[in-house]
A and B are shown apart, each in its own frame.
Chain A
Amino acid sequence: MITTEFSKGVCLVDPNMSRLTAATAAGFKDEVAALIDAGNDRLVLDFANVSFVDSSGLGALVGLLKKVGNRGEIVLCGLGDSVVQLFRITRMDRVFKSFPDRAQALQMLDA
């Protein structure tokens, strides 16, 4: 189950899982999609505690990005080495904005 915090109209999402994989991606996506449906279209996904994302996890992230579309923005923060490498190989580093931590992600969305 994800947990959320709200700060100045931005929804901070903690996935509360160490691995976003085929086993967990669908549930994660459904929960965040429900947030978007509820009108939260500026989101920070905090991946500081997520050590591994597989191809299904990546599909879920892109699915959420498509869902928000032009209405809002999804940014990531706290990406670990293995996730950074996955993002580089799949060029997702050009699709998702990412920041070292929550504070900097919030600062950017605030600007």
Chain B
Amino acid sequence: MVAERFMRILVADDDATQRFYISALLRKLGHEPVEAADGEEALRLLESSGAHILVCDLDMPVMDGLDLTRRIRERRGGHYVHVVMVTGRDREDDRRRALDVGVDDFISKPFEASMLRVRISAAVRLVEHERQLNEKNRILHEAHEQIRADLEAAALAQRRMLPLGSSVLGRCAFSASFVPSAFVSGDMFGYFELGQGRIGFYAIDVAGHGVQAALTSVAFGHLVTAEYFASKAIGPDGRANPAALAASLNRRFFKTDSDEYLTLFAAVLEEDTGDLSYCLAGYPPPLLVGGASGPRRLGDGGFPVGLLAQAVYSNSHAKVEPGDRIVMFSDGATEAEDPEGTAFGDTRLSHLIENEAAQDASRLPRRVTEELMRWRQGHSLADDLTVLVMERRPAS
């Protein structure tokens, strides 16, 4: 650090004797003076020399010390220049005007070497301080950029795990949309053929959002493969038992020292009969849409996964007729608020889904996100949003 305390210092004075005197003193202090005979020359040299300290006379031809300081302060970008102005003794008016235009310090003529020395060392301290701050800023900025780039890469990796768009599994068609609230999200979903004419599907929402929730959701996505799902959600008796999957996941994700948990909807559909077995574990009840009666909520509640060691889970059953659809959505859908703070809510969501019943199921996820964006009036979502639609296709 000691080496950097010696600086290039600009000396602006039209009086050659005075200029040489100041320069000689600065040299004695170990600094490197750069000389200018007027304000204009000083301004030019300021750029080319890279000096951070300026010692200048108030009265100079062409451009005086006040004008010079004003011009320096008007510069955009570049480093701060510490200005020490040399004035006559007892010139209060001069000093007030000088402070107004941005002069940092004064020294009165005639002055002794010791007086210049303390003024310069104060300036060097400030300049050094600024340099260190800039360096810290630069390091922080680089770290921030690195983290941002990492998060973007993580978000991309996470999106690649999600089966977005539409696809057909046996006699079922799935369509999904997903809008993360931040780079990464705590939502995850999946669907698989389980063999023996069965389709399994799930959606989860890890509590909270951000990196920790995202790591859990990705771990979940990797864990719950078709084989895993089938091994847990189909009992030894061959019957669908998604509650056993939830119980198994609860044991796996429960930790005594953590508040982290997730909500889950998991279901098994018999393709031939349309018999649906499902387990609701704190996830918003999905809507079954079909027939004349309007959307029907699947389930009314269940313990989340990983929250309580002693949680028990149960299966529920429904019939999914050909042409019926099941709409799953994370709580980001119903909890989305308009600018006045009114939540979109269950009723509006249910009506929207009902109104779209005659339309192609594959466009429903996008329709829901469009309506929510409209509800938000252009504000980005505060929570992650997943919409997953499963349609049992009519027999062809």
Of the candidate stretches A5-13, A42-50, A51-59, A103-111, the one touching chain B is A51-59
B263 adjacent to A91 (CB under 8 Å): no
Interface of B is mostly: loop
Residue of A nearest to B258 (CB): A63
Q: Is B33 engaged at the interface, CB distance under 8 Å to the other chain?
A: no
Q: Is B150 engaged at the interface, CB distance under 8 Å to the other chain?
A: no
Shortest distance in angstroms between B369's beta carbon and chain A's nearest beta carbon? 20
In whole angstroms, what is the CA distance A9 to B256 when docked? 28
Give the chain B neighbours of A90 by CB distance below 8 A: 263, 282, 301-304, 307
A-B Cβ contacts below 8 A, count: 53
Which of A60, A62, A63, A88 has a CB less than 8 Å from the CB of B300?
Answer: A88
Shortest distance in angstroms between A63's beta carbon and chain B's nearest beta carbon? 4
Contact with A along B128-143 (1 / 0, CB 8 A): 0000000000000000
Shortest distance in angstroms between A19's beta carbon and chain B's nearest beta carbon? 9
B285 adjacent to A95 (CB under 8 Å): no
Shortest distance in angstroms between B184's beta carbon and chain A's nearest beta carbon? 14
In whole angstroms, what is the CA distance A58 to B263 when docked? 12
Q: Is B57 engaged at the interface, CB distance under 8 Å to the other chain?
A: no
**Contact (A59, B256) CB under 8 Å given A54-B335, A89-B301:** no
A55 adjacent to B208 (CB under 8 Å): yes
Give the chain B neighbours of A89 by CB distance below 8 A: 282-285, 300-302
In whole angstroms, what is the CA distance A90 to B280 when docked? 9
A66 adjacent to B256 (CB under 8 Å): yes
Q: Is B383 engaged at the interface, CB distance under 8 Å to the other chain?
A: yes
A91 adjacent to B301 (CB under 8 Å): yes
Q: Is A36 engaged at the interface, CB distance under 8 Å to the other chain?
A: no
Give the chain B neighbours of A55 by CB distance below 8 A: 205, 207-208, 261, 263, 331
Q: Is B209 engaged at the interface, CB distance under 8 Å to the other chain?
A: yes
Q: Is B275 engaged at the interface, CB distance under 8 Å to the other chain?
A: no
Shortest distance in angstroms between B316's beta carbon and chain A's nearest beta carbon? 14
Residue of B nearest to A56 (CB): B208
In whole angstroms, what is the CA distance A90 to B302 when docked? 5
B307 adjacent to A59 (CB under 8 Å): yes
Q: Which residues of A contact B (CB under 8 A)?
A: 22, 29, 54-56, 58-60, 62-63, 66, 82, 88-91, 95
Q: Which residues of B contact A (CB under 8 A)?
A: 205, 207-210, 256, 259-261, 263, 282-285, 300-304, 307-308, 311, 331, 335, 343, 383
List 9 A-B pairs, Cβ < 8 Å: A55-B207, A55-B208, A55-B263, A59-B260, A59-B261, A62-B307, A89-B285, A90-B301, A90-B302
* 19 further contact pairs, Cβ within 8 A, besides A22-B208, A62-B308, A91-B301: A29-B259, A55-B205, A55-B207, A55-B208, A55-B263, A55-B331, A56-B208, A58-B207, A59-B208, A59-B259, A59-B261, A59-B307, A82-B343, A88-B300, A89-B282, A89-B284, A89-B300, A90-B282, A95-B308
